[in-house]
């Protein structure tokens, strides 16, 4: 079930919210948590119930191991070091390995077999392994829990509370990646047991903005991005840049829209999820970009990959290597493709260049810093979106084809290029190059998006309070978005694939 479907908006969410608060109002707090866990599992199983045993088994095994690690920490702290307690680190390693092996089987088996066949010239074939929904996110969430348990930073939660922590449906499918300390204390607070008007209003406001981002903006850009990346014909300058920039904005509005919706839905239950986006396309360097984009993943990579590798504690060159390795692994986490690895390597190398630039003491104008950062991010997204190297080369070739900047004979244009223009085609062609006129709707939408990304984001608006105009915007966004869910089939959120 996806947040932008009418089943979720009109049935699942109202029923789940009503049942949860009715049970809490009756002082049946445990039943309220049970209700929320069961609703979250139904939400997960709605797409494919056959994967339900996987998440249930993962929850049970990680919960038992986490309790063992936490208990071992307390005994070790008390000086009672004996038996299995001596091997706590081995238990932690085994737990992390089990999670990664499970993730690797579902996500990378086909990838590894394909690469083995290519490298060794063999022809091994396996039945296609279907990727379970959200396996990357709930696996990382539980790895964090195991490490925190080993460090003695978790409480002795019971299985119900732990299950709620993992399955809470607003963050279950595509994040943000949460830590137990961020949401578990909130579920235990009496201030979250009953509905609060301010949270309901802010939650609906954030949800409506996220829904509008997804259905109206991201799904519109998806049409142009898919046409450019998935086609076979050569691309001219305008269509190549239109495709690459369309994907850049599609991904942002799709994923940040999901996160706005997740935060908004969670707030309806009086739970604040961590911020995952903070206007990343305002960044003036690549380091700032990663402090604003997919923030919870950035923190995970920093705390559980970069720092354990040595961080910046072993000299400049080791620091550079750690950055590149961390982002290469971050790219691979997104999917079983060398395109993701290349994307991660590019960002790792960009961070190395940024460190060298900072060390030099040189500075550049802010407008130039923003332009370079945005163009790099846009170019790297080409590898992230492209299915293979040939697709990426086709986009880059068009982006560099300056010969198509000028007036081109209409006979070289695809038959449907100017179909949108109707009677406007002739006067527009007298003023602009034909390729430019063909891409005019895309360019107008892109221009609007460049204006939008300079404004305050949804969370900043919500933090200022929801007044009359914002309530009117909420009603407008919800009305338009619900209409869109009825008249069209919305695509799945992009990060559901990761």
Which of 51, 180, 294, 334 is catalytic? The answer is 334
Structure tokens at 58: 């993962």
180 given a catalytic annotation = no
Look at residues 273, 269, 270, 272 and name the one whose alpha carbon lies nearest to residue 19.
Answer: 269
**Cα distance between residue 261 and residue 276, in whole Å:** 12
| Cβ(443)–Cβ(436) below 8 Å | yes
Look at residues 209, 347, 297 and name the one whose alpha carbon lies nearest to residue 495.
Answer: 297
Cα dihedral angle (320, 390, 108, 110), rounded to 10 degrees? -150
Give helix 52-77 / helix 135-150 axis angle, nearest 10°. 10
**Cα distance between residue 193 and residue 250, in whole Å:** 37
Buried b (16+ CB within 10 A) or exposed e, 197-223: eebbbbbbbbbbbbbbbbbebbbbbbe
**Cα distance between residue 474 and residue 468, in whole Å:** 10
First to last CA, the chain: 16
Interacting residues of 375 by C-beta distance below 8 A, sequence separation 6+: none
- For CA atoms 168, 250, 256, 142, the dihedral sign is positive
Q: What is the DSSP string of 199-250?
A: HHHHHHHHHHHHHHIIIIIIHHHHHHHHHHHH--S---HHHHHHHHHHHHHH
| Cβ(217)–Cβ(249) below 8 Å | yes
Look at residues 272, 177, 254, 247 and name the one whose alpha carbon lies nearest to residue 211.
Answer: 254
Give the H or E element holding residue 165: helix 159-167
Q: Quick one: 189 exposed, middle or buried, by C-beta within 10 A (0-12, 13-18, 19+)? A: exposed
Look at residues 157, 132, 127 and name the one whose alpha carbon lies nearest to residue 67.
Answer: 157
In 316-403, alpha helices (H): 316-334, 338-360, 366-385, 389-399
Structure tokens at 337: 């493709």
Structure tokens at 30: 């445990």
**Cα distance between residue 266 and residue 199, in whole Å:** 9
| Cβ(497)–Cβ(335) below 8 Å | yes
The residues carrying an active-site annotation are 334
């Amino acid at each position: 079930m996806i947040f932008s479907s009418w089943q979720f908006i009109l049935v699942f969410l109202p029923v789940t919210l009503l049942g949860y608060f009715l049970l809490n109002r009756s002082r049946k707090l445990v039943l309220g948590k049970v209700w929320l866990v069961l609703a979250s599992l139904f939400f997960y199983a709605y797409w494919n119930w056959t994967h339900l045993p996987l998440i249930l088994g993962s929850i049970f095994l990680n919960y038992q191991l986490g309790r063992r690690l936490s208990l071992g920490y307390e005994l070790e702290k008390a000086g009672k070091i004996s038996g299995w307690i001596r091997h706590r680190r081995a238990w932690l390693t085994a737990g992390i390995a089990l999670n990664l092996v499970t993730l690797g089987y579902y996500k990378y088996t086909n990838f590894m077999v394909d690469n083995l066949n290519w490298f060794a010239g063999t022809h091994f074939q396996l039945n296609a392994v279907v990727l379970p929904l959200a396996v990357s996110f709930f696996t990382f969430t539980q790895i964090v829990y195991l490490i925190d348990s080993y460090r003695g930073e978790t409480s002795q939660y019971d299985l119900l509370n732990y299950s709620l922590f993992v399955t809470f449906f607003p963050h279950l499918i595509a994040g943000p990646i949460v830590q137990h300390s961020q949401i578990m204390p909130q579920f235990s607070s009496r201030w979250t047991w009953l509905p609060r008007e301010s949270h309901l209003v802010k939650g609906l406001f954030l949800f409506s903005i996220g829904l509008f981002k997804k259905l109206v903006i991201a799904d519109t850009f998806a049409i142009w991005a898919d046409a450019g990346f998935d086609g076979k014909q050569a691309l001219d300058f305008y269509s190549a840049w239109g495709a690459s920039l369309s994907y850049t904005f599609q991904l942002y509005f799709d994923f940040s829209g999901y996160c706005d919706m997740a935060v908004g839905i969670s707030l309806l239950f009086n739970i604040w999820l961590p911020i995952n986006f903070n206007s990343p396309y305002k960044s003036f360097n690549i380091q700032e970009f990663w402090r604003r984009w997919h923030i919870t993943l950035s923190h995970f990579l920093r705390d559980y990959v970069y720092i354990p590798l040595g961080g910046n504690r072993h000299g400049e060159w080791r620091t550079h290597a750690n950055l590149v390795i961390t982002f290469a692994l971050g790219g691979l986490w997104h999917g079983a493709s060398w395109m993701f690895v290349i994307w991660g390597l590019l960002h790792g190398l960009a961070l190395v260049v940024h460190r060298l630039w900072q060390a030099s003491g040189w500075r550049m104008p802010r407008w130039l810093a923003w332009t370079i950062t945005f163009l790099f991010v846009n170019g790297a997204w080409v590898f992230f979106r492209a299915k293979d190297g040939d697709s990426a080369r086709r986009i880059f070739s068009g982006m560099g084809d300056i010969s198509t900047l000028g007036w081109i004979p209409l006979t070289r244009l695809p038959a449907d290029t100017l179909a949108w223009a109707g009677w406007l085609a002739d006067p527009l062609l007298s003023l602009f190059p034909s390729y430019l006129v063909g891409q005019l709707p895309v360019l107008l939408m892109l221009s609007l998006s460049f204006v939008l990304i300079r404004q305050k984001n949804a969370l900043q608006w919500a933090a200022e309070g929801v007044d009359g105009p914002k309530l009117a915007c909420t009603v407008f966004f919800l009305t338009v978005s619900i209409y869109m869910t009825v008249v069209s089939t919305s695509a799945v959120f992009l990060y559901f694939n990761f």
